[in-house]
Structure 1
Amino acid sequence: MPTNTDASLARRKVRARAARLSAVLLGGLFVGFLILVGVFIEYRRAIDWVDHTHKVISTVEDLQSNLSDAESSQRGYLLSRDRSHLMSYRAGVERSRALLDRLDSLTIDNPVQQDKVKTLRALTADRLGRMAEVLRQSEDAGMQRALDMVREGVGANMMAEIRRLTAAMRADEDLLLARRSRHAMILELLMVAYGLLFVTVTGWLGYTTVRRLERDYQAERAEGRALTVALQENRVLLDEVNHRVKNSLQIVANLLRTQALRHRSQEVRQELLDSSSRVLAIAEVHRRLYGEGAVYDTVELSDLIRSIAENAIPSDSDGGGEPAMSVAVGTPLPTPVDTAVPVALIVNELLTNSYKHAFPNGRTGTVRLDMEVEGNEVRIDVADDGIGLPEEVGSSGGGFGLNTVRNLTRQIRGRLEIERLTPGTRFLLTFPMKPGAPTQA
């Protein structure tokens, strides 16, 4: 049965493949967009050439029309002697020359048309010169001479040649117009088709991406719900485990205490009671690892030490004739379990030894427990004003309890200092603070 990890790994692989595919598609779309831009630029150029061809055709037609108007105005003047016709004639001549200049500029990219424009310019100059000569003859030699020159047909032949040449230019431009229009239409169709393809692919990519993200979101929500249920189950399981461990340890402690009370040997009875006390110290740690708001890998050390101190008071104490307890702990200090358990055992051992050895024969006094944090270190000070340590107990001597304290101190990478007071003994435990990253269910 696939686990959540397998499902997550499979989703990551699918996402990686989808990301690669999306990258390829996006790259293709980008290249396609550049091609589309290039096609659009070429289409605009084609449209400009189509407009240019229309301008050439229009200019050729205007030139022919203006020459015809100038010729008609000249004949009107010869027949009616109305000088207003001369004004139309002169305007037609000037405009014809301007149109020739414009036509020369428009066909500068076409050598064939340029040759025709040169021929047309020469024919137009001859025709305009002939018309000007006819008007001079009408002024100098009389109207009859001018009419005779018109009847000779030289001017008509020139005009026919001009019409033939402009018709040839118009035919050439019509061919160019058809070719350029077809090119522009193909580019337009290509641009529209590619634009539709671009929009379709982009829309499909966006749709599939949204659908994939939606599926991933739904899958992650389902996985999150499953993880929440599993986490809640683990929380209940951890609570149950810690609760049972605490209960089991308390049962063991009670069994040891019961066995101690029934044993005849005072020495064995005391050892069993000490072992019971140690088991209860460990049980106290587990008691704090379950319940509402429990943090399963961290214990609040200040509160734990206070409880250890209270539990270490001899059970047969009635409030009189027994050593007094003074506890002063600092601010709350979350501590990893692998540090809290040795510290609890060390404090329990030191307090038990003080009650057991520092005040023999009903002697009264005070046991003081202090805890404070200095920089990155925790200092726990256990002192009493009892009879003090025997001379033979030094930095390495002592009984089982003191050797246990030394071993546990090495386990938490700490150091233990023993100081003889007047009166009493002081134990100073110093160990590095190792705050974990609490994990709360």
Structure 2
Amino acid sequence: MPNRTDASLARRMVRARAARVSALLLGGLFIGFLLLVVVFIEYRRAIDWIDHTHKVISAVEELQSTLSDAESGQRGYLLSLDPRQLVPYEEGRERSRALLDRLRSLTADNPVQQDKVTALRSLTADRLDRMAELLRQADEAGVAWAPAPVREGIGANMMAEIRRMTATMRADEDLLLAGRSRHATILELLMIAYGIVFVTVTGWLCFSTVRRLERDYQAERAEGEVLAATLQENRILLDEVNHRVKNSLQIVANLLRTQAMRHRSEEVRQELLDSSSRVLAIAEVHRRLYGEGAVYDTVELTDLIRSIAENAVPPTGGAEPSMTLATGAPLSAPVDTAVPVALIVNELLTNSYKHAFPDGRRGRVTVDMAVAGNEVRIDVADDGIGLPEEVAGNSGGGFGLNTARNLTRQLRGRLEIERLTPGTRFLLTFPMKPPAPTQA
């Protein structure tokens, strides 16, 4: 038992330590999960900034392309004075203004780019105004003058400045894009690394927990098998001991009965027979308590009283009184109730058979047991000559009747004696307490 106790204590300590480690790991995983959420949010912001930078670059490239289209349309009109050439020019004018507004909105977080957008807006406005002025002059001067501005390259310097400005903005945005892409890549690698660590730690934690539970289960199963085997051995030993105790009690009862048959004194003979009857009553309880299929802590009271009543009939072989037994439904009682009840019923029946029917008188003895609520009532009556008035009192009678009164007080019950015409009635009433579970 000490070894099993030490093993159980060691197992509990290991479980407690494992529980603390698991709690720390779970706490770390939870904190790591929160960090992962923060990193993921930051990663999403980095991706949004990358998309934002791409939009700025796309707007800058589109602005440059739109201005080039507008310039090509204006040049085509100057060379041919074909009104259809003005379509891309007009579209370019409107589109360039919209793109400049979009660039101002997209670069609102970058003061440096805002300054460049302002300068670009001024250059674009000057270039568009210059293109409009050339178109007006071409309309006034006619076909002969219109190709002259194209050959002279009027406005080329302005477009070169616009291209230089857009190239600078594009270069700045490319630098921002590279930094933001690098930041997003680092965050992505962090998430991947943490995901690998999270899966690894979680898998190891689950695996170690399952292994620990399996080891605990195997250890407890082995311990349970040892305990079951020990309990079975103890049960076999207990059955053997109780079987010998029961046999010993029967031997004692037989010895008392044999001694009674050999004794010359009638009074001593009767006392020995009464003692033998009491020992047999205890042996009957013992037999039922530890017999085959017994539960070792309760006795079936109905069958016990039936056996006590049958054994109490004197083996005279003559015209002994008849017996009537009514015990009702089965009732289980704890052993500390069954033994006093068996002795009391034995004493009452012995008293009836001994004193109620002298000189071979015929008669009838009845035993009735009933349960009313939490109380048990056992009624033993006869139609014999009846008890003397002084015996029916609270303290009258011999050893057997006083023994019944003492056992009744042990049961916290009451024993009422009633004189009938003819006969005597004994009414035993006691509370039935629930059986206490055994330690086994």
1:178 deviates by 1.4
2:289–2:335 contact (8 Å) kept in structure 1: no
Which deviates more, 330-339 or 63-72?
Answer: 63-72
1:383–1:424 contact (8 Å) kept in structure 2: yes
**Which residue is 1:245 aligned to?**
245
TM-score calculated relative to the size of structure 2: 0.95
**Which residue is 1:187 aligned to?**
187
Which deviates more, 165-174 or 243-252?
Answer: 165-174
1:298–1:334 contact (8 Å) kept in structure 2: yes
SS at match of 1:27: helix
1:296–1:440 contact (8 Å) kept in structure 2: no
> Which of 358, 365, 368 in structure 2 is aligned with 1:367?
365
Residues of 1 paired with 2:347 and 2:396: CA distance? 15
Residues of 1 paired with 2:342 and 2:302: CA distance? 11
Residues of 2 paired with 1:60 and 1:312: CA distance? 120
**What does the per-residue CA deviation read over 1:99-148, in whole Å, with 9 as the maximum and x for residues that have no partner?**
11211121112122112111111110110110111011000123555555
> How do residues 325-404 of structure 1 correspond to structure 2 at under 5 angstroms?
325-393=323-391, 394-404=393-403
**Which residue is 1:102 aligned to?**
102
**Which residue is 1:421 aligned to?**
420
Residues of 2 paired with 1:154 and 1:78: CA distance? 12
Which deviates more, 378-387 or 8-17?
Answer: 8-17
2:78–2:150 contact (8 Å) kept in structure 1: no
1:406 corresponds to which letter in structure 2? Answer: R
1:260 deviates by 1.5
Please say if 1:305 is aligned against 2:305.
yes
1:2 deviates by 4.2
Residues of 2 paired with 1:382 and 1:34: CA distance? 82
2:79–2:146 contact (8 Å) kept in structure 1: no
Please say if 1:68 is aligned against 2:57.
no
**Which residue is 1:119 aligned to?**
119
Which deviates more, 389-398 or 181-190?
Answer: 389-398
1:84 deviates by 2.6
2:320–2:360 contact (8 Å) kept in structure 1: yes
> How do residues 26-105 of structure 1 correspond to structure 2 at under 5 angstroms?
26-105=26-105
Which deviates more, 4-13 or 287-296?
Answer: 4-13
SS at match of 2:430: strand
Q: Which runs of 5+ in 2 are unaligned?
A: none
1:366 corresponds to which letter in structure 2? Answer: R
* Number of residues of Structure 1 aligned to a counterpart in Structure 2: 439
2:81–2:143 contact (8 Å) kept in structure 1: no
2:424 corresponds to which letter in structure 1? Answer: T
Identity across the alignment (%): 82
2:36–2:194 contact (8 Å) kept in structure 1: yes
TM-score calculated relative to the size of structure 1: 0.95
1:246–1:287 contact (8 Å) kept in structure 2: yes
Q: 1:77 to 1:106 in 2, by over 3 A?
A: same
Residues of 1 paired with 2:362 and 2:84: CA distance? 147
1:21 deviates by 2.2
Residues of 1 paired with 2:54 and 2:167: CA distance? 15
> How do residues 196-215 of structure 1 correspond to structure 2 at under 5 angstroms?
196-215=196-215
Please say if 1:264 is aligned against 2:264.
yes
1:151 deviates by 5.8
**What does the per-residue CA deviation read over 1:412-432, in whole Å, with 9 as the maximum and x for residues that have no partner?**
111111111111111100011
Q: Which runs of 5+ in 1 are unaligned?
A: none
SS at match of 1:419: strand
Residues of 2 paired with 1:9 and 1:408: CA distance? 46
Q: 1:154 to 1:437 in 2, by over 3 A?
A: farther
Please say if 1:410 is aligned against 2:409.
yes
Which deviates more, 171-180 or 373-382?
Answer: 171-180
Root-mean-square deviation (Å): 1.8
Please say if 1:255 is aligned against 2:255.
yes
1:340 corresponds to which letter in structure 2? Answer: A
SS at match of 1:335: strand
1:83 corresponds to which letter in structure 2? Answer: P
Residues of 2 paired with 1:118 and 1:404: CA distance? 121
Residues of 2 paired with 1:405 and 1:7: CA distance? 51
1:164 corresponds to which letter in structure 2? Answer: R
1:223 deviates by 2.2
2:403 corresponds to which letter in structure 1? Answer: T
1:38 deviates by 1.4
2:412 corresponds to which letter in structure 1? Answer: R
SS at match of 1:288: helix
SS at match of 2:345: helix
